[in-house]
Chains A and B, each alone.
Chain A
């Protein structure tokens, strides 16, 4: 069964304290791995797509990396506005539905 597991469930950081979120996956095939940010009461907002092991993508304080079994979302010097739930999802083949993890809720305090 295709499965996505995110850890930790919740993470509290001080402003400027860098850390990483983990997304491990077990799938029959990987078309792509997606990271989304979700604020309370809003829909998921697209961040990155990774397609192959070794690939990295960066956006402001966020960097996503991919291996054959997991992905990391690295947050460098976070700010309070980075507080949100970060969702990881995999797509097994082109055009098919995304399989999501439960998310990591990040809280950054000043």
Chain B
């Protein structure tokens, strides 16, 4: 079946602009996670959804970052007033809730100029 998909695959923006990153989880997966990965580092947690609600947003670095999952499926990560330090690969993962395994998408590479 189809895996986790993310769009766009690459996003180049200018400092101060607003961006939206989209994640389409595996069908039927109730849990959805956003991570951020910098070069040479492991993924770092940002936010976790169970259904439509954010179960844990403790990893969001500041209030410029926000995420939604209005219908319990697709999620959008929103970044306001982007900064150069936001440049990274943003990864999305989903889990069925029956097992603990998180399946990752290919990521969105964000570059802030």
Interface residues of A (CB under 8 A from B): 4, 31-32, 34, 36, 41-46, 49, 87, 89, 91, 94-103
Selected from A4, A34, A96, A102, the residue in CB contact (under 8 A) with B101 is A34
Q: Return A61 CB to nearest CB of chain B, in Å.
A: 21
Q: Return A47 CB to nearest CB of chain B, in Å.
A: 10
Q: Check B105 for interface membership: any CB of A closer than 8 A.
A: yes
Q: Judging by beta carbons under 8 Å apart, are A97 and B107 in contact?
A: no
Known contacts A95-B97, A97-B33; is-contact A43 B105 (Cβ 8 Å): yes
Q: Judging by beta carbons under 8 Å apart, are A43 and B42 in contact?
A: no
Known contacts A42-B106, A43-B106, A43-B107; is-contact A100 B44 (Cβ 8 Å): yes
In the bound complex, CA of A101 to CA of B99 (Å): 22
Known contacts A95-B55, A97-B48, A102-B42; is-contact A32 B104 (Cβ 8 Å): no
Q: Judging by beta carbons under 8 Å apart, are A98 and B106 in contact?
A: no
Residues of B within 8 A of A94 (CB): 100
Known contacts A95-B50, A96-B48; is-contact A44 B104 (Cβ 8 Å): yes
Q: Check B20 for interface membership: any CB of A closer than 8 A.
A: no
Q: Check B14 for interface membership: any CB of A closer than 8 A.
A: no
Q: Check B8 for interface membership: any CB of A closer than 8 A.
A: no
Q: Check B65 for interface membership: any CB of A closer than 8 A.
A: no
Residues of A within 8 A of B104 (CB): 36, 43-46
Selected from B40, B91, B95, the residue in CB contact (under 8 A) with A43 is B91
Selected from B50, B97, B100, B103, the residue in CB contact (under 8 A) with A91 is B100
Q: Judging by beta carbons under 8 Å apart, are A95 and B43 in contact?
A: no
Residues of B within 8 A of A100 (CB): 42-44
Q: Judging by beta carbons under 8 Å apart, are B91 and A49 in contact?
A: no
Per-residue CB proximity of B66-82 to A under 8 Å, as 1/0? Answer: 00000000000000000
Q: Judging by beta carbons under 8 Å apart, are B101 and A97 in contact?
A: no
Q: Judging by beta carbons under 8 Å apart, are A44 and B33 in contact?
A: no
Q: Check B102 for interface membership: any CB of A closer than 8 A.
A: yes
In the bound complex, CA of A46 to CA of B91 (Å): 14
Residues of B within 8 A of A34 (CB): 100-102
Residues of A within 8 A of B91 (CB): 43-44
